[in-house]
Amino acid sequence: MTMLMRWLFLAAVILGPWMAVLTNRYQSPWVDQNRHTLLLYPFALIAAFGTEQEALERCTRRDREAWFAARRGRITASVFQRVSNMRPTTPCDSVLEVLLYGAGRELDTPALRYGRQNEERAIREYERRTGVLVRHPLAAAGGSFCLDRAMKLRRGHPYYGQVQAQMACCGARFCDFFVWTPHESECDRIAFDPDFWQQKIGPVREFFLECLLPEMVDPRKARGLPYRERRKYRPRRH
């Protein structure tokens, strides 16, 4: 997509909702009425191509603020499993708060501190065991144990969906899931699962097109209105 096309699309995105707001008492139907037009360029606001991808990767390696800014509006691998497993009775509000408005944005949790303090030690141990040189490491840490008794990553754990999403985005055929502790470590080589990916990507795409993208284009939060829900959403009866 050329830069001119992006600017034209952004102008339509910015002006369209405000014109509707001024004439509809803040009950803007603009996005809903023009949904098919918007979907012609669903990634215009967040797409990155070629050298843009490389520049984005470089600037977010150590700059946490840039990292958080780059994540905004993107369904990242870390929330892939959560979005793909949403039930018809699950509202989208808590996920949108995380993806767009910084809910749960903790920069200094115990898990993150542990990861930063021990990242280099874990990398050295992984390189020693596998002979693989890690050039651009990405650190992650969590509070729940993710391996089963056979020391394999559980298929139902969020990390499994995260790993599969990362492999799909990178075009990788396998991933070494390495768990390090001061006393022992374990490496689980996980193959890309195309069946799992095809099963999960549909609900994720649906959430993006029906909830996330409309809120990015025509935010309801600032107007005190409820978020748009997925078409299949059915609220629970109390």
CATH classification at residue 149: 3.90.320.10
CA distance 164 to 172: 9
CA distance 116 to 108: 10
Q: What is the pLDDT of residue 109?
A: 78
Is residue 219 a part of any domain in this protein?
A: no
Number of domains present in the structure of the chain: 1
Is residue 234 a part of any domain in this protein?
A: no
Is residue 145 a part of any domain in this protein?
A: yes
Is residue 52 a part of any domain in this protein?
A: no
Q: What is the mean pLDDT of the chain?
A: 74
Range of the structural domain that residue 134 is part of: 75-205
Q: Which residues pair with 16 in a beta bridge?
A: none
Could you give the count of Cα atoms lying within 13 Å of 105 in the half-sphere of its Cβ? 15
Tens of pLDDT along 2-49? 554 444 444 444 444 443 433 333 444 545 555 555 544 444 545 555
CB–CB of 204/80 below 8 Å?
yes
Tens of pLDDT along 108-164? 678 878 888 998 999 888 888 888 776 544 433 333 445 555 568 888 889 999 999
Is residue 178 a part of any domain in this protein?
A: yes
Tens of pLDDT along 62-95? 656 666 676 777 888 889 999 999 999 999 999 9
Q: For the range 231-237, what are the long-range contacts, defined as Cβ-Cβ under 8 Å and sequence gap of 24 or more?
A: 232/88, 232/206, 233/88, 233/89, 233/90, 233/91, 233/92, 234/88, 234/89, 235/89, 235/91, 236/89
Both tokens of 52, joined, read 């843009």
Tell me the H-state helices in 152-193.
158-170
Picking from 52, 39, 51, 53, the residue whose alpha carbon sits closest to that of residue 9 is 39
